[in-house]
Structure formats: structure tokens, C-alpha cells
Structure 1
Amino acid sequence: MSASQPSRCCFLLFAGALLGGAAWAAPAARASTPAEGARPDAPPKPRLVLVGDSTVKNGSGRGDRGLWGWGQVIAERFDTSKIDIENRALGGRSSRTYLTEGLWEKSLARLRPGDFVLMQFGHNDGGKMFDSDRPRASLKGAGDESVDGVVEMTGKSETVHSYGWYLRRYIADAQARGATAIVLSPIPRDRWSDGQVLRADKDYGLWAKQAAEQAGAPYIDLNEITARRFERDGEQKVGAEYFTEKDWTHTTEAGARVVAECVAQGIRDLEGSPLVRYLKPSKQQPTDGAVWRFDFFEDATAVEGPASTSTVGVTLATKYSPATGYGFEPEGATPTLAGDACTSAEPFYFSAALPEGNYRVRVHAAGAEPLTVKSELRRLELHGWRPDETGGVAEFLVNLRRPEIAGDDRRVRLKPRETGSEAWAWDEKLTLEFAGPAPRVSALTIEPAPGVPTVYLMGDSTVADQPLEPWNSWGQMFPYFFDNSVAVANHSESGESIRGSLGARRFDKIFSLIRPGDWLFVQFGHNDMKDKADDALAKYRENLVSIVERTRAAGATPVLVTSMERKPAPDRLSLGDYPPTVRDVAEETGAAMIDLNKMSAELYEALGPNVDLAFQDNTHHTTYGSWLLAKCVAQGIRDTGLDLADALADDFGGFDPAKPDQFESLQIPASPRRD
């Protein structure tokens, strides 16, 4: 910790290299209007023309009935001093009717050499072809076939072509005018199966890709990019915030901003596309030098910062949303201003959208009362910190993760609760909880820490981040016992066995990230012993050996942990042969091993009649029990002689399970219940 003067009071964000999270909401850009102050003889700005259906522009484009298309907010992603945005999409149109109704002719007339067209159709290309009151269907596919017929509603003859044919027509027309046409697959609907968004990769998404390839046009798989984003945010959140209850096709304003973010991502991924130069700097790609600073001031007026610094004013009433990329979470209290800091009698949360990775967080605070800070899903980072006694600044490292697996089209198979009550462990933002008698936080600084070693945890519910009080785990307490030289990444999940975690690709996720110098702690047994197959124990052993080998092959250090005993009781089933198997594998492979099973038995015996205070049920622990078990593991690191012992916190004086801390000595504020 180092001394620092507390700041003044409004919430301001300073970003050294770039701002974290989603794009900051900007005033709506005036399309096709020369920039004020521009020279009359200056060359005209290029245009970006959008064509498509109601998912690009809904209704009049003013948020009718609370529905928005992504084209209505995409201007926020561009530097509109350098490019004009024209949203010429129209609801209800298919790739066919956008042409036959003369809409494309008008859009084409707006194109000049150097302009761009984004086209997204597909939602209305099904249905009837000639009869009914909405004959708008194109032929399925991307071929050259056609069908002649008479449109019943108008009595006019028409030749209907394939979906891909119409896209190729638009591409060719745009190219003939010297413009760049970019094809997008249609955004996904709010339709799910087994936790996965239903894709269009077998129909309109596939045909859009084929048409783009046939015509030599760039292609953005917006359907896939957006589906992955929806899955990251979770079915519950997507349905509640990005769509309306009765409409699974059209997005809300928040949903439109998320899709617009995905469009911008797709544009950035286009190799060599000149359109990229008109995008605002990405808020999703941190660099080693990027620093996010949040400060408190009396008002929310943005102030001048250094020339290299961007500044955005934020009020204390700002709630987190994908549109802003920062703000207070509604699950906690709304803080108030108290002199030079924000404070609350109840715990409050603040979130900032950040990419996956490790971050160094500095909390600037004031006051003589102890302050507790938890991150993400109730991970203990600071506890009992009295700012006035330590210079007013405390620092810790935190890890953020996403379900996507780098270098692989697959992702971690999350359980439904991991996109619900446990979503903060996987979502797009860092969430911090501030609690204590009267927490007074004056500033936050968040800086990427890509070079620090990571301690990965993999296990079951006795290790996993538990979402609700009073349940807890030693994995949630673990970060507190380290200094600022390592980050803890807890990938454990309730109900998992070692075989289940392998099948859900949880280990694949870790091995896509782990690097030389990292550690992987593995503790399984509670759920593995429920497997009654004849070869269950042998498979358990085989999987442990494999994980040890894979960890070493990555240049990291495996650490096996025997599972703690269940709550002592007469005739209660123990963990059987599973702890001895872990010991055998450790001896056989030479892997480090922490015998938490043995230490926990000694701990429970020492607790005597107070052992109930450590348990929430017969298996899971309270905050008190998890605190003691985390101390056991920390002591195990020291006893085992791991280099990681050098990273243990200076104030960790060791732990003897036979002499546990008194229950009354631990006063960690409870987190608000989020159910």
C-alpha cells in the first residue's frame, strides 16, 4: 500500500489509453450533414449506408414501442466527423422487396466512390411468395434459380430469385458505383436450446456468406458474433434486457447497442477494410498502458485532463448498462456523497466493462472504519482495511474470465445458474462490492496486468464462488491470503466432478490460458464418489494423472488438494478411497499435494461443539468455515515448499488447524442477496 490523497467528489472516468467496456453513449449523430466549421471546398465525407429490415431500423427510427434496430445507434461507434451514417433500412422488407419496392434504387443513388454499404436481410425472406397480403419471400439458397408467378395482391407478374441472388445484385450495383458492399448475416432471435442461442448457420447465415464469396464482397457473421455475446450475457439477461417479453426478434435500445457493438467488432475483424479507420478506438482491447480511473467530484461535468487522457462525467445515479460500460449495480445500495467520497450504510456495487484477463485494482478511500472489498462473485480481496491508518490506498489483483475458449470455436458449457445467479463470474464486466460500517470510497484505478502469474482453481462447490449468503467456499476466501504479485482465477463450479469438468470444457478453458509460471490447484472428490460405475475410481485416477501431465506440459505447476471432510457425525459416509487416491497420484507423479482432508479433520476436532458454526449444511461451509479452510490451504502452500509461498500476504502468520480462529474474531460483512 502507498499513501495517496483522497480525491474530490463526482464520478469521473480517466482512461489513459482507452476506455473500458462498451462504447460510451454519445449524442445522436446528424447523418449526411457537413461538419460544422468544415471548409466549403473540402471533399465530402464518405457515407456508410445501411440497408436491411426492422432489426436494422425499427419503425420510424425513434424507438417506437421501445423497439430499436442496431442501425439507429451504430453512429456511436464511428467518428462522425469523418464519415456520415445513413440508415436506409425499412421494417418488413426482405432481400426481394427492398429491390422491388424501389428502396434499393434510392439507396444506390446515395452512393459515391469510396462509400460503404452494410446489408443485412433474412428475417423476412421466408413465408409466401405470390399469395397472402405479404408476398415477400425469396427462394431459399444462394443459387441462380428463379420462379415466375403473379403476385395475387397486385396482379403483376414477377420473377422471384434466390436470397443470395438479391444480395449479389446489391453487391454488384454498389461496386459499380465505386462503393464497398459488406454483407452481414441476420442477427439471431431470442430463441434458445440447452443454453445455446439458435443459429442461422444452416440457412440465411450460410447463404449470406456464400453470396458474399460469390460476389467478392467482405462478410461479417453477425449472427454468430451476436449469438456468442448473448450466450456470454446469459439467457435470462438477454430476454429481460435485450428483447421484450412478447417479441423475440426486435431488440430494445439496450439490445440494439449490444448488437451495434457486435457489428463494430465484425468490422474490426475484416482484414484490410478501409471502413475500420472510421471506427472509434475499441473499448474492448486493453493494452499494457491502458488505465481506467474513476474519481468522485461534486458534479458530473467533464473536466479537462492531460492531452492523452479522455474524460467522461458520471453521476452517482448512473446504473450499469452495456451502453455506458460502467455504473452502479441495482442489486446494491445507491451510495451518496459524503465530502470527498461516496458512501452508504449498506454494501454497494460498482461495475466497469473490461475484457478477459488480470487487472490491478487500486482503491482510494478515507475513514477510520474498516472497509471490505469483494470482487466478482463475492471473492474476498480486502478485509478490515482502515484507510486512514495506511495512507488511503490499497491494491489487489483480480481475474476476469469469459466462456469463450481462445483458438477454438467452442466455449465452456455453462449451467443455467451460471448465466443467472452466478452470471457475475462470467460476464463482460468487473464488479466490485464495497462494505463496512461506513465505506468511503474516493477513487478507483483499474489497470491491465497481463504479466502477473495466475493461480487457477478447479474443483466443486466447496471451492467454487458461491453466489448467495451464507454459503461460501475456501476458493472465495483464497485471494485475500496473497499479496499483489499473483491473481487468483477460480474456475470451480458447484456440482462438478473431475469428469464433468472435463466434459464441460472447464479444463480446456484453463489450458487455453495457462502459461509457464502459473499454478493449477485441483480438488475433487465430493461428487466423484457418487459415481457407482465399477471403473469410477480408476477413471478419477487416470484423469488426475492426465491433468498433472497437461499442466506440466504448459510449463505450469500442478497442485493436488485432497477434499475436506464432511461435517463430523456418527456413521456419516466419508470420502472413501478418493483422498488416498489423490495422495497416491501425487507420490506417483511427484506433484505437489496439500492434504486438506487431513487438515480439515484436525480442524473440525479442534472446533468441537463450535463445528456447526463452520457448516451451512453437512458439506458446504459458512464464511467462517471457508475462512479457516482457506487458511489451511495457504499453510499447505508453505508446508509443501512451493515457490508460491513467496506470494502469500505479509500478514499471513501461518495457521495451525488445531488452534482455529475464534468465530467472534471474524467479522466479514455479508453481501446483499441477489435472488
Structure 2
Amino acid sequence: MKNTIVLSLVALLCVQCENPKGSDVKPTVYMVGDSTVKNGRGDGAGGLWGWGDFIGQYLDTTRIAVENHALGGTSSRTFIQKGLWNTVRDSLKAGDYVLIQFGHNDNGPINDDFRARGTIKGIGDETEEIDNMLTGEHEIVHSYGWYIRKMVKEAKDKGAVPIVMSPIPRNRWAEGKVPRNDNSYGLWAGQVAEQEGVTFIDLNDEMAMQMEKLGKNRVYGNLFYKKDHTHTSAGGAVLAASIIVDELKETDNAIKQYFLENPEIVLPKKINIYLIGDSTVADNGDPQAVGWGTELYKYFDTTRVNIINRARGGRSSRTFYHEGLWQSAYDTLSRGDYVLMQFGHNDGGYIDKPKYRGSLKGTGDSTVVVTRKDNTKEVVHTYGWYMSTFISETREKGAVPVVFSHIPRNKWIDGKVERADKTYGKWAEDIARKYNAGFIDLNDSIALAYEKMGAGAVKKFFPRDHTHTNKEGASLNAGIIARCLRKMEGIDLKEYIVSEKKLDRPSGNSR
């Protein structure tokens, strides 16, 4: 009896040495794969995400840990070759899970001086000996199936539970259908899983079916971007993660006990870009007077950006402030938002007569008291005062102000578009410089584009008058703004501007 007690104590101590926290240690879900599992650093750079970045939101992380070890650009071969698999393998303990997805990069060259990441096609035991042109090392290259099988077996040896997936589909279409990889990597991944007796998720086919239900046009901009047929947006990554979870729930795999019953999936917060200005910015509901603010969305990734157009026709910097339109925008601003502001067209109006929209000229501190028709008194400031107020109060909210000079009118003198570089254009720049705000000389940028096109071509943009453009003119102006913002230093909007339309227009000055 004494010996039995001693042996039991020894066994208990041995277990505690291997697992010092005992049964309180949570299992871990490890993910291994390429950029479709974890894109870049997993921070959504360029709007691209992997499904491994979101699958943790479906899991009860009070009971199970999540670690995404995927690395963009790797194949099944190079993930092992770089030692990334060894890191995961050496961390595994009994009861852990390993989600495995490779294939996108396995089709590359087996030996070159660029990536050297290809594997032999299939699941056989054939090999190819090479002197790796990239690493300079002698290497025996195996089949795709061999590398997947190695990870599966070594995970099982550690008491972990491997789960194999076919790679997500690429956003390619043929006659309304998304091509599958059911004769290549999807097939081979499933064959290895079947041979090794582990769970297989045909993510390629399941996701392709969901894409086809949406249709090509709805997939673009929601699940994938036109600029990239391989890497998903946040929406696409969430779709892939949800498919994996739903499919696992239908298996007898023990991982399903850790899935939340009603998960709340949080997508990355969108950046808000507020627009304030007059009718040349606003949505006026008139096809002959379309503000550029209504067309700006074409040049932005609207899965990550909200364009909030608060501009109002007929307003000057003064009336936008006096009527509470600025206060309404200000109240909804949050840290990290942007405010693009353009005034000047209406600031030259009457100061003391209806419509009471003129502001004092310049950027100084002078004021005048005006008695309005209803006998109320208003302290009227300079154009620069109102603009500086918008700038400073934007910053109070932790938002970023960007000042524009107003778009030019369709007025020409000796073959040149009339500028506002001695009045509101100059004052807008002066205020932006004084308060260290971003500035785009939109007046000059658009005027340069008009001059390159010629007065005859530009005339079609102004069907009603010399101030307001139609939709085509508004789209041109919005594209010039996007191009200027793309080049502007200190304004981190470049990665959100995703238009593929290359405007062959002078971009003017942006500072």
C-alpha cells in the first residue's frame, strides 16, 4: 500500500512537471498557412485580411486560446523550411488544435532565385534534389501532400488535433462561376486528411458557392477588391472564417465545444471622412448641379471608409457656422476622422442683406455687427476666422482637418481659367499654413486640368451656369482630389484610395 502511494505521488509530480498548471491550462488553436490566413501583420494593411484574423471571434477565448502563425508568401514547403512549423510543433500540447491551409503558393517554381517555394504536385513520395538558388543550400523537395502529411502527423504525435482545409478560392470567374481547385490542391488536401483520419473542410468549394450566390458584382468591393484576386477584405475573411466554423459544427471534432452560440463579429472600424462646403461639394439633387462630394466615393475603399457629406448648397463659411451646420458635424466627430473643407464661392455675398452670407475679407480678427431682418444681431467675422474655427475645433475632437481652395468657375481669360489665388484661394492656404493643416490648392489643380482639356471640352461640364458641374465634371474633380490626397504628406489616406482609374491630369499643389 505504501509503495502504491509513493508511485502515485511520483506519477502526480511527473504530470505536474509536464503541465505545471494542471487542468487549468487552456487548449490553444494554432493556425498555419499563407497570407489568406494572415495577411501581413494581421492589421488590415491595404484593407486585406486573412480568415485567421477573425476566427477567434467565434471562439470562447475564456476557455481556449488562439494563435495565428500563418505567414504571407509561404507554401507548405517554405513554412517548414523557414522553421515556422517547428515553432508551432514545439509549442503543441495534448488537446490543442492546428488549422492547416496551404496551396496558393505551392504552384510556384521549385527552384529560382526569387522565392523557390514550389512543391511537387500531388501527394506522393517522389522527391527532387536541388541546390536552392535562393538560399544556397542543398535541399530535397517533396510533394505538397508530403509536407501537409508531415504537419498532420507531427501534430498528432504531440496529442494535438490537426484540421486540414482546402485553400480559399481566388476571385476569378468563368461564365458566372468561380473555378475550383478540386483537381489540384483542394483534392490533395482532402486526400491527405482522409488518409490520416483527420477532419477536412472543403473551404474552397464552400466559399466559392457563397460567392456565386452573391454574384460577381457584389463580391467585388465586399469580399475581394478588383486590385487583388487572392486576398480577402475583412468581409471576405469573415465569410471564410464563418464557413470553417459552420462546417466544424457539423463534424464530431471536439473543437466545436468551444464555439460561441451567438458570436458578435466586430469588423474593423471604418474611418469617417466628413465633407463640409457649399453646392459645389454638396448633394443638391440636381443633375445639372452635382457637387464633387457625391462622386468622391468612387475613389475610396468604402468597405473601410465612410464618406459623410455635410456640405449644403448656398452656404458660405459664415452661414455654415451661423446656421449650426458646423455644430451638427462637430458633434458627431470622433478621433481619427477627417474633415475636408471647401468654402469661398458664397463668401463674397452681401454681409448685411439677405441672404446674409458674406464674410469679411481676409484672415484677420476684424468683426462687424449686423442687424438681420428679424432684428437679431450677428457678429460677422472674416473668412479666415471661420475657417480657422473649423480647423481648431476639428482638432479638438482628435480629427484631421484638410483645407481646400474652392473649385474654379468656368471663366476664362486669354485661354486661362480664372484663379482665386489673390482672394479666397490665397486666404484658404494662409489659414491652413498658419494652423499647420493639410492644404490642397483645388482651385489651381482643377484649373490646370481644364486648361489641358480646353474650354470647348470643359463647357460640357457646366450645363447650367459657370459654377456648378454635372456628374461628369464632379467625378473629374473628385478624382483630382483623390490624386492630391494620395500624394499629400502627413495625411494617412493613401491606402484607402483604391481607384484604378488613372487620371492623366495635373495634380496641382498639395501641401
Superposition TM-score tier, normalisation by shorter sequence: 0.3 to 0.5
Please report the TM-score for the alignment, with normalisation by the length of structure 1: 0.36
Higher radius of gyration, 1 or 2: 2
User: Higher relative contact order by CA 8 Å / sep ≥ 6: 1 or 2?
Assistant: 1
More helix by share: 2
More strand by share: 1
Please report the TM-score for the alignment, with normalisation by the length of structure 2: 0.47
